[in-house]
Structure 1
Amino acid sequence: MILRAATEADRGAIWEILRPVFRAGDTYTVDPDISEADALAFWCDPKARVFVAEEDGIVGTYYIRPNKDGGGAHVCNCGYVTAPAAQGRGVARAMLAHSLETARAMGFRAMQYNFVVATNARAIATWERAGFSVVGRLPGAFFSPAHGYVDALVMFKELVDGT
């Protein structure tokens, strides 16, 4: 699998990966009816660096950006999406490892996930295996089409001092 910076030419493939995940409405806080243009504007925010995972085509994408501006800019935030047909093949783990390496190279001191839907057990297990801790719980903060109101988690990992 190759992980590389996304290019303008990748935008169509990125949308094809984002579309079913966003339409499902069960992991991201975006309108399930989001347009392609708005989805790509969200994912490819000017403050973000966007990457794709390739293995016989683009099978995943992630972004990395400062979590906040000013005094919070030393903490990054990432979002990851794996193509449905590529799930269970290690794409998310590869993107996570790449993002941790990239974050350190960019000088970030920590990585924070602001809103991990508590029913997203596969992602939570992946992040916890990588050393992330749940540092906050937002009761009933997400409406899941399948589960109703569920908690959202804040997950955090320090990136300094060899962690």
Structure 2
Amino acid sequence: MAARQAIDGAVIRPPLPGDHDAIWSILEPVIRAGETLAVPRDLGREDALALWLSPERTVRLLEEDGAVLGIFYIRANQPGGGAHVANAGYVTASHARGRGVARRMCVASLDLAREHGYLAMQFNFVISTNQRAVALWQGMGFTIVGRLPQVFVHPNEGLVDALVMHRFL
């Protein structure tokens, strides 16, 4: 994937230092809601940016009409013998949900993973109550290969399962 890629009317590109405000504006509401990401709900801006933009991750933004609508990363799922499998994470801006942002980021992440030589992609911790994401990932060819019972404390639902999802590239 080139540094910038067009996909269905959006631009997929690496983040720049000037994007930190936009990235935080996407991450903060999702972190505070505590419904889909396994991070502390009080995680601060600098720690969140350091996590999402860490050097072991290849990060991309989805931008449409000059506005950043989503952020995703790929990285090796495990070191050593598991490094041929990618892992990814995605967050869509709340005002952009329902516009195909997550689907476009998934398509771009699969392309990026192939370009980096990964043979498969695995999501280790998809919160089972995140039904839109589960349906999207299944529609993108991922299968549920495992269920981790009651491993996530959802702020409204209590203890819920997390799913392990996988697909070959």
TM-score, normalised with respect to structure 2: 0.92
Deviations 1:129-148 (A, max 9, x none): 01100011000010100100
1:97-144: CA deviation from partner (whole Å, max 9, x where unpaired): 000011001100110100000000000000000110001100001010
Structure 2 residue corresponding to 1:98, chosen from 108, 116, 141:
108
CA distance in 1, matches of 2:25, 2:84: 31
* CA distance in 1: counterparts of 2:57 and 2:17, whole angstroms: 14
Name structure 1 gaps, 5 residues minimum: none
Q: Any idea what the Cα deviations from partners look like across 1:65-88, whole Å, max 9, x if unmatched?
A: 111111111111110000000000
- 1:42: how far off? 1.1
Structure 1 outlier segments of 4+, above 4 Å: none
Identity %: 53
Spell out, residue by residue over 1:7-40, the C-alpha distance to the aligned partner (whole angstroms, 9 max, x if none): 2221221111000000000000100100101101
For 2:44 and 2:69, locate their aligned partners in 1 and report how far apart those are by CA, in whole Å: 21
C-alpha root-mean-square deviation of aligned residues, in Å? 0.7
Residue 162 of structure 2 corresponds to residue 152 of structure 1: yes
Partner of 1:21: 30
SS at match of 2:148: strand
Q: What letter is aligned with 1:16?
A: S
Gaps of 5+ in 2: 1-9
